[in-house]
Structure 1
């Protein structure tokens, strides 16, 4: 690697990439069928419910959360306690919460699942609280589980008389291990259809074809088939026990030589850049600017002298400064990988945003062999 200092230039960074690429490089490895597909009819379902947490030490919802007081009044009515109409119910020991859980596939009545409890109002902390019985509903509106129990809160909030406070983690969200009991089972047609459908987690024509070949070779005959890059249909036995054992055998089969195209993944929110093995760069030249603009806002006051009849006037004042760094030129030997280029850019102090901008420009120019993904 040869580094040459240039004189002042308009661009901030000039990168000359002379990596010779003879063809796309791919990661080749064997995987099981279970790692590549999901079985149709065997999946998780989301549950959600609205509830009340009680037993808080004055850290619950304030008077602004009207729905909390209304929920408490409705709950007391169910237990035969009717409040006078002119009474304003206030309780800092309660909080309105949303309860969420995941219904695992195949769970039966009486089994328990974990739930997550999150504050809905302006409660300071849910530490020490107890969730009252809360029905959990699925997307169809039916109740599938009932949640109740003591919360486990990983966060902490403390406040002094002067108003100073400290917060660790998130005290308004907690979990109840095994806090919900399944009351209704989710219907599935897994054991009723003549075949089992395997849905690819990442649709791909080549992967679907390789899965079909692996199943037919292991079981014999033409038991597996596919009509697209999304799913594979496999003829399965009708008996429940035999079908479960059959699917377990399918998931354990090896799919030989599955090719995965190299990828570059950007997280635009956090600035994270992940580059998979096999990504290379074709010969290209990139000029990336580093323009810095600073704007300072202020106010200038114009006041008349003692004997004048004018008025005091305040006028805004803006100071704008524009600066631009010099640049460095880098040259890599033939055959350099993208990782070597990234390491060099990082040594110059470039930010993740700079790296993202450079790689995006390379992708648009067709100089990257990998797939560019922005999340």
Structure 2
């Protein structure tokens, strides 16, 4: 039986060119910490930042004066400005310590300017932090840490002060960029738009971009986009690929992975060495001395696993069932897949991340 095609909305598989979120970043101060802030002896820029902050309010601190700021921490403030965000709208911010603060729990972010890649200020952030982590330290140096107490969030902590201009209302065309490059999907998107809007409306430029004619009037263009983004499109099949995560042992095998005829056996050789001591006791009334001698016990075990055969065109389910039948662990599965690739039997791309 043939599985039914899974159609996706155009808005789920493509982005509109020139309309994207913008990353904002700034450096600020978190105050009100309960002695868990930066240690200025190891982070002198904290004192300089605090001095510059007070200068803005006409409170000068003489240069060269040393002071401890256990309740203050220098932080990095990051936010993502969504497309079409208008001045006055609020966005979430993430605050993370830049120096050696132990925890930001209970702190308040002072007003911080958030800048874009062009150096312009697009938002200002301030507010009380929500910190999910917890850190406790004893007098003897012992410490317990849960999650990351040096990072916090402020929901709606930034306010937009400048709008980012987009190319949405310029030109007589709009361009959709596929999130996954695929010539088949690009052709199907172009065909689906032409079937819905009329022949010649859309044309696929390459494996990613589809150019679409659009009305010049902004109000009409919004309604036009509303119709386009809900068009249903069947995506092209992904290439045959096996993904192996060498750090976690996770293995993902794509739907179209196939193997050529191959016979595989996977055995496991286990060598165990245990160290102990043996006591050499002399005979009664002898002149010998009791001696303790090292003794090593070496045991070698080998599993006799069965050989299993992959026929031509073996599918994903066949591969998994065959390897599970011999009790192979995820690490063994990775070794088997790598061997299949080296032998030329694995008809898929093997990606190790």
Q: What TM-score comes out, normalization by structure 1 length?
A: 0.79
Greater Cα offset, 153-162 or 122-131:
153-162
Say what the alpha-carbon RMSD is for the aligned residues: 2.9
Once the two structures are TM-superposed, the CA of residue 293 in structure 1 deviates from its matched residue by 9.1
Q: In 1, distance between residues paired with 2:64 and 2:220?
A: 66
CA 1:323–1:339: 2 relative to 1, 3 Å = farther
Structure 1 residues 342, 97: closer, same or farther in 2, change over 3 A? same
1:284-340 per-residue CA deviation (whole Å, 9 max, x = no partner) reads 134667678999xxxxxxxxxxxxxxxxxxxxxxx9x99784451232586764334
Contact 1:31 1:258 in 2 (8 A): no
1:159-308 pair list within 5 angstroms? 159-256=137-234, 258-286=236-264
1:328 equivalenced with 2:305 (yes/no):
yes
**Cα deviation digits, residues 252-296 of structure 1 (max 9, x gap):** 11124743344322223322112233433331134667678999x
Structure scoring higher RCO (CA < 8 A, sep ≥ 6) equals 1
Find the partner of 2:6 among 1, 12, 29: 29
Residue 75 of structure 2 corresponds to which residue in structure 1? 97
Matched, 1:142 2:120: yes
What's the counterpart of residue 54 of structure 1?
31
The 8 Å contact of residues 51 and 98 in structure 1, kept in 2 or not, is answered as yes
Aligned to 2:49, what secondary structure does the other structure show? helix
What are the ranges of 5 or more consecutive residues in structure 2 without an aligned counterpart?
Answer: 274-295
Q: Taking structure 1 as reference, are residues 28 and 275 closer, same or farther at Cα in structure 2, changes over 3 Å only?
A: farther
Aligned length: 328
Query: Which SS does the other structure have where 1:107 is aligned?
Result: coil
Between 46-55 and 360-369, report the one with greater CA deviation: 360-369
* CA distance in 1 between partners of 2:339 and 2:222 (Å): 50
Deviates more, 1:184-193 or 1:278-287: 278-287
- For residue 307 of structure 1, what is the aligned residue in structure 2? none
Q: Say whether 1:363 aligns with 2:345.
A: no
Contact 2:176 2:209 (8 Å CA) reproduced: yes
Q: In 2, distance between residues paired with 1:257 and 1:188?
A: 28
Q: CA deviation at 1:363?
A: 2.9
After the TM superposition, which of the residue ranges 121-130 and 68-77 deviates more from structure 2?
68-77
Q: Residues 263 and 309 of structure 2 are in contact (CA less than 8 Å); yes or no, is this contact kept in structure 1?
A: no
- TM-score where L is the length of structure 2: 0.83
1:130 alignment partner in structure 2: 108
